[in-house]
Amino acid sequence: LKIIKEGKVEIKFPNFDKVSSDAPVFYNPKMEFNRDTSILALQAYQKEVDREISICDLFGGSGIRGIRYKKEINAVEDVSINDISPLANEFTRINAELNDVEVKIEQKEANNELRANMGRFDVIDIDPFGTPSPFVDSAGYNLKRDSLLCLTATDTSCLCGTYKEPCIRKYNAKPYKSEYCHENGIRILIGFAALTLAKYQKYIEVKMSHSSEHYMRTYLKVKKGSKATDKSLKNIGYIAHCKHCLYRKEYKGLASSIPEYCPECREKLIIAGPMWLESIQNREFIDSMIEIAAEKELNQKDKVLKLLNSCKIEANAPSTFYDIHKVCRALKISAPKLDKVFDKLEEKGFIAVKTHYSPLGIKTNATNKELMDIVEELVEK
Ligand code: SAM
């Protein structure tokens, strides 16, 4: 057996050589960052609803996530930890006892757990192997008004467009492997969740989203109402992208008519989507997470705060970003200092912010042409 410490808990699980779905009981130390961030997000949600909350950790593994939620989040009424594996549940029981917390342990196929407990949870955390897609419909059925849906996806190669067909199969959307494919991927995931929940007259408010290491994660507040759901679906649409001159344009609406060729260079446009085109970060929510971080003991706090500050800045920026190297390659020039590009954009009155997706990324409302003119000017000098 192995024992590890994370946050305020100690967790035991059978030793294994390599983190994989073949481990007898799943534990991934790399996901501590995800769990630390989740604690802040769930606490911010609890503060927002201002009542005791009931949490469902749908894919429990060693139980670490649910046990940490019970131990480290204030005003938690109960936590249900579900896993299809009897051995995982045995360790959840051992670990709950070891940490002196009471949790409810369930051993159901995830969809059955959600279908059998409609409206029971304030928070549903879906942290499976690979894609959350097969579970989102049951979550849509289960979730009540003002609840929180947390989604992790580790099938990033499909969401980012390395493999197109699996993304179409799982998310009914076409990805595109551009410089901003990680952001596109999260937007596809969120768009898929919004469309799936819409069947149940439920719509989403996106609270916070990030792409880190090998996964994507998003926190969605769920609301109810058919009219508001119809309205919120207007936030879904497509991005048309020109890989030749880097032109890109958003088309909101599912029946958008999108031109076939780039209006600037006549290259054939690539169309990705449907995806969520409104902001995927909420400033107030992220501020609350940052404030809460001061009162929590988290090993990854500095890293989490860095991410939160970046996401907060991204909240009001456009849905895609440019990669300075890609811009310079298109212009056939060497790259200027990134800070100079930011300064120049701001000087000219454009939005210019960094992004957590890429150290070379520039989020700006300048068009490809405007940005390229600025970059050229800086290099000439
Ligand atoms: N959330 C955990 C954490 O933070 O450490 C990790 C969960 S691990 C990625 C996925 C878990 O889901 C495994 O323990 C596996 O046994 C369980 N599982 C896989 N398919 C399932 C299903 N259809 N229903 C319920 N549990 C399932």
Question: Residues 273-287: pLDDT tens digits?
Answer: 999 999 999 999 999
Q: What percent of the chain has pLDDT over 70?
A: 100
- For residue 18, name the pLDDT band (cuts at 50, 70, 90): confident
Q: What is the complex's ipTM, to 2 decimals? A: 0.99
- CB of 26 sitting under 6 A from ligand 1: yes
Token code pair at residue 199: 């069947």
Measured distance CA(65)–CA(38) in Å, rounded: 9
Is 348 in contact with 374 (CB distance < 8 Å)? yes
- Residue 115 alpha carbon to ligand 1 centre in Å: 17
pTM of the model: 0.98
Using CA atoms, how far apart are residues 41 and 45, in angstroms rounded to an integer?
6
If DSSP codes are grouped into helix, strand and coil, which group holds residue 352? strand
Three-state DSSP class for residue 87 = helix
For the Cβ of 214 lying below 6 angstroms from any atom of ligand 1, the answer is no
Listed range (15-29, 161-175, 186-200, 344-358) with the worst mean pLDDT: 15-29
User: Ligand 1 test: best mutation among 6, 25, 28, 59, most atoms within 8 Å of CB?
Assistant: 59
For atom 21 of ligand 1, the residue with the nearest CA is 84
| Paired tokens of 139 | 């979550």
